[in-house]
């Protein structure tokens, strides 16, 4: 995504953000603390909702780091009076995170695992870099729970993937979390069960 597309993404997301996402981001991210990693940070939509007083450092990663993310990070660090070392950006795919095992207290992923090409590998990496007792905070859209919308989404998925840069409408992310040893506890669902958000702890 070029910088122009990043701006378009933010504009396109505005109605959704106004509807429900902003409120959920705020609720989800209020519990991020300690050493925090965000995967698939995109344009930095979560940056306003972290509570920096609880965060030792925040590392934002994405498979493709855009200028818009870099700008937002600089602006956020200045506005919150953070030392630059506490807020950094690193280009890396979720499937190959360049961090030691058990590096982070908390990993954040919002609207990411619909797009990560190898979801299982990405979630396995999230588990690897989490400390025992740490947790993934997630918000994802998933395969609709009801049969008719699920079938419709399955039919639309190939075309949607083409126009959306690889986003899938049919991912069973909650089951994938269980498979990698990060059993999810839901805070809630919305959009008819298509959006789901919660915490997936790694056993201590």
The residues of the shown chain that bind ligand SAM, judged by CB under 6 A, are: 39-42, 45-46, 62-64, 93-95, 110-112, 115-117
For ligand SAM, which is the closer residue by CB, 75 or 151? 75
For ligand SAM, which is the closer residue by CB, 41 or 174? 41
The residue assigned the tokens 């396995």 is 124
One-letter-per-residue 3-state SS of 79-99? HHCCCHHHEEEEECCCCCCCC
For ligand SAM, which is the closer residue by CB, 32 or 63? 63
Find the shortest distance in angstroms from Cβ 111 to ligand SAM.
4
For ligand SAM, which is the closer residue by CB, 116 or 133? 116
The closest residue (CB) to ligand SAM is: 42
Find the shortest distance in angstroms from Cβ 193 to ligand SAM.
19
CA pair distance 189, 1, nearest whole angstrom:
29
Query: Is residue 109 a contact partner of residue 140, using CB atoms and an 8 Å limit?
Result: yes
Find the shortest distance in angstroms from Cβ 78 to ligand SAM.
21
CA pair distance 7, 3, nearest whole angstrom:
6
Question: Residue 177, Cβ neighbours under 10 Å: how many?
Answer: 22
Cβ partners under 8 Å of residue 53, min gap 6: none
Find the shortest distance in angstroms from Cβ 194 to ligand SAM.
14
């Amino acid at each position: 995504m070029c910088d122009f597309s990043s701006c378009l993404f933010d504009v396109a997301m505005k109605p959704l953000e106004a509807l429900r996402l902003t409120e959920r981001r705020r609720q989800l991210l209020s519990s991020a603390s300690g050493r925090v990693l965000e995967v698939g940070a995109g344009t930095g939509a979560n940056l306003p909702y972290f509570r920096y007083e609880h965060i030792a450092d925040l590392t934002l990663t994405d498979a493709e780091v855009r200028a818009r993310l870099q700008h937002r990070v600089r602006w956020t660090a200045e506005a919150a009076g953070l030392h630059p070392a506490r807020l950094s950006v690193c280009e890396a795919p979720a499937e190959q995170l360049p961090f030691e095992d058990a590096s982070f207290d908390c990993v954040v992923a919002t609207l990411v695992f619909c797009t990560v090409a190898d979801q299982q590998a990405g979630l396995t990496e999230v588990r690897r870099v989490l400390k025992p007792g740490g947790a993934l905070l997630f918000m994802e859209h998933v395969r609709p729970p009801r049969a008719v919308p699920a079938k419709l989404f399955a039919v639309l998925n190939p075309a949607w993937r083409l126009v959306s840069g690889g986003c899938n409408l049919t991912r069973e992310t909650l089951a994938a979390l269980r498979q990698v040893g990060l059993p999810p506890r839901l805070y809630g669902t919305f959009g008819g069960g298509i959006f789901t958000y919660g915490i997936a702890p790694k056993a201590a």
